[in-house]
Structures are given as structure tokens and as C-alpha cells.
Amino acid sequence: MNEPTAGTMIGVVHRDPAGETRLLAALRQARPDWITLEVSPYAVEYRRRQGPELLAQLAERTPPNQAEHGEIRAIREMLQIPFEVRAAELYRAECGAEVLLVDDSEVSRELLADVAAELLTAENLRALVRRPDIPLSRTVDSFYRRARRLLADEPVPPALLGFSGERLALLQVRDEKMEQVIRPLLEARRERRWVHVGGVFHLLRVRGLRLLWERFAGRGVERRFLDEFAVDDED
């Protein structure tokens, strides 16, 4: 059986405030014909339907003069259409690329179920702004640095990811489901350039797990982190 043509997996840090600009620049450089995103259809539908109301609740309940606190900005980014989708849609408008959402909607439904009930309570928001005000961009950059350190020490011991056992198991389940969606698409699109965009940790070899990168490693697919791509001034 012939192997699919080479593609690129781009690892991102979700909620990156500069993510849309960075990813659009990366897509223009990679020039894919089709793009898969680690975003579920439900995640986009939820934000389109509920996002405006939830953002209004966030603004109303945020303590005075704390709207730009790093923790509040992170929530605001989470409630918006993911930057991965925004950038991919802009690239599609420019180049006609196919964009596919391949994460699992049922998992998203569970993860988003308690956003309003827990995350956006006035009590929780007051607690968040009592934390040190670290700019969101700095937090994002620290995640890229951390992921790069882990990349240098593969296979990564699971404990170094800092996730619970339940979350590690969920990562593997999600990546198995995404592989089941992506693999036949690769077979059907052999002559077309592919880019996958997903969280940086999904691109690591983790001891005892098979995350998405490892499921496609050895098939001519490269992996890069989003912060490696140059961004033109005009972007």
C-alpha cells in the first residue's frame, strides 16, 4: 500500500491571544489543500449559540477594573470561536482549502456543560482575579517552552504533563477517535497537502500512551509548534 503524501501537524496552545494571526501566517507558509482541526462541531456550535450571552455574563460579573486580568482574558478567549477555526476559515476564503473539524462532539459537550454554572460565577471570578496577574501572552509562551522541553526528552513520562489519570485517558480516547476520522481521509486525498492543527501535547510521544502524533509518525508527516512560524508585519 502506498503511503499518503507528507503533511504537517502544527501544535498550538489553545486560547493564544495572538493565535489567529500566528496560525493564518503558518497556513499561508504551509499552503495546505485541506486542514483538520482539533475542534469539534459541537464546540463551534456551542460558542456561536451561547458565546455572546456567556461573554456578557463574564463582563457583568468581572470585578471592576479587572477585565484585562490574565485569568479573565483566558476565559474570554475560551468563550469565543476558537482561533484555530477563525484562522482556518480566513485561509479557506483566500485559497479554497477544505476545513474539517475532527474532535469528538460528545467529549466537548461534557467539557462545556458546566461553564456557566461553575466558571462564570461571581465567586469564582473574584477568586481568579486574586491570583497574580500574568499576561495571557506570557502564559501561552511558557506553555510552548514547556512543550519544547518535553519534546527534547521523549518519550515523556506521563506525570510530567501534569494531568490527572482521567484526563490522560481522555487524551488517548480523543486521539484514537481523531485518527479514525483522519486516516481514511488521508488515504482518499493522497495528492493533496494536509495540515492538522491541535494542542501541543498531542504532538508528543508520551510513555504508555499513543497520542495523535505517534499514530502518524513515520508516514512522512512533520510536526512543528505554532511559535516556530514567522509572522509577517502585514499580518
Residue 211 domain-assigned?
A: yes
Would you state the pLDDT for residue 159? 93
What is the pTM for the complete model shown? 0.93
* Residue 222 to residues 7, 141, 203, 219, Cα–Cα distance (Å): 6, 21, 10, 9
Q: Is 90 exceeded by the pLDDT of residue 111?
A: no
| φ, ψ for residue 76, nearest 5 deg | -60, -45
Answer whether residue 107 is part of any domain. yes
Residue 46, in any domain of the structure: yes
What is the per-residue pLDDT for 85? Answer: 99
- Cell (9 digits) for 146: 514547556
Q: For residue range 119-177, list pLDDT tens digits in order.
A: 999 999 999 999 999 999 999 999 999 999 999 989 999 999 999 999 999 999 999 99
73: in domain: no
pLDDT for residue 219 is more than 90? no
How far apart (Å, rounded) are the C-alpha atoms in residues 121 and 215? 40
The answer, yes or no, to whether residue 2 has pLDDT greater than 80, is: no
Q: Into how many domains does the chain fold?
A: 1
> Residue 184: inside a domain, yes or no?
yes
Asked whether residue 59 is domain-assigned, the answer is no
Q: Is the pLDDT of residue 100 over 60?
A: yes
CA distances from residue 183 to 137, 186, 204, 228 in whole angstroms, order as listed: 34, 5, 19, 26
Can you tell me which residue has the cell 495523535?
A: 212
Distance between CA atoms of residues 190 and 179, nearest Å: 16
Q: Which domain holds residue 164?
A: 7-50+82-111+135-228
Residue 118 lies in a domain: no
Question: Confidence band (pLDDT; 50, 70, 90) for 233?
Answer: low
- Cα 165 to Cα 186: distance, rounded to the nearest angstrom: 31
In a domain, 11, yes or no: yes
Q: How far is Cα 152 from Cα 64, in angstroms, rounded to an integer? A: 43
